[in-house]
Amino acid sequence: MHDLDNIQNNIRENILLAMDCQFTMPQIIFTGNISPEKLQDLLESKQWDLEEPALINKPSENDISYLLYFNGEKFTNSYIIINDPHLLTGKQGPELTANCVTAFQGKLKLETQEKLLARQLQDSEYQGWITIDLVIANNKLYYSRIYLNTLIDYAVAVSSIYDIPINKLNDFVNTETLETDLYGASIKVYASPSMNVKPLTEQYMIDFNIEEGQEGYMYSVSGEDSPEKIWKKLYKTIPRTLNDMGYCYRIDGDYKSKKIFYILNKYKYIS
């Protein structure tokens, strides 16, 4: 049995858990085994993520997150999350933790891994969200990281699928599998650096379905049955007054979601 506290905070334990659960593992190098010059070369290639003291290879830029809710006995619901973290249109600027997020209910072909992970969670008496970051490459789903809990951006996108408040989501998904073919999407709304803006009022956020997160405000929508349709709806309904108030957002938030959704279906990663 793995200590979940160590899983969250210790990359070695995180990797060992993934191996025990039989995830497909990418190439991993521990920094103590290479020279500083070699480390710098690998990082500059942008094909490696540094999770000190480990370097984890990213075999492609096509990444997804697999979000599951564990009720103490089993996984009750699962969602596929496509997150485009770039701040600016055209994949420009810095990367946020999350920006343009698409969520839909689905099960990846990871049945063996899920069963083994569920046993670990049962032994630890854990209840709550599990987020598994994965990279799609070579017709495989490669491990990237396992997290306890999830990002607020992901929770907002999932709650928007069912059109429920985010604070009701855990109770909603705890007891039963909820079948739906609808999609949810959320996008960061942030202050333009060239304008003097004020925080949004609580009433404005309620009126226009906006949540406040760690890295900015989030606007979300639901009710469509494809990534293309959900993002068209998002841009059609996002409050125009936000621009007048000095806030901005990406205008190509659907780019990555359509690309990844095509790959998932073409290679039949969804069971």
Q: Which CATH number do you get for residue 90?
A: 3.30.470
What pLDDT is recorded for position 27?
A: 96
Section 13-30 average pLDDT: 96
What pLDDT is recorded for position 254?
A: 94
Task: Supply the pTM of this predicted model.
Answer: 0.94
Residue 220 confidence (pLDDT) above 90? yes
Does residue 13 lie within any of the structural domains?
no
Does residue 51 lie within any of the structural domains?
no
What pLDDT is recorded for position 92?
A: 86
User: How crowded is the C-beta side of 109, counted as CA atoms within 13 Å?
Assistant: 12
Does residue 19 lie within any of the structural domains?
no
Does residue 236 lie within any of the structural domains?
yes
Mean of pLDDT over the chain: 92
DSSP calls for 206-245: HHTTEEEETTEEEEEEEEESSHHHHHHHHHHHS-THHHHT
What pLDDT is recorded for position 181?
A: 92
Does residue 53 lie within any of the structural domains?
no
Section 86-109 average pLDDT: 93
Length in residues, the chain: 271
Does residue 43 lie within any of the structural domains?
no
Q: Are strands 54-57 and 28-30 parallel, antiparallel or unpaired?
A: antiparallel
How many domains is the chain built from? 1
What pLDDT is recorded for position 62?
A: 97
What pLDDT is recorded for position 244?
A: 87
Does residue 259 lie within any of the structural domains?
yes
Q: What is the span of the domain harbouring residue 72?
A: 60-266
Answer for the pair 88, 46: CB distance below 8 angstroms, yes or no.
Answer: no
Does residue 75 lie within any of the structural domains?
yes
Residue 147 confidence (pLDDT) above 80? yes
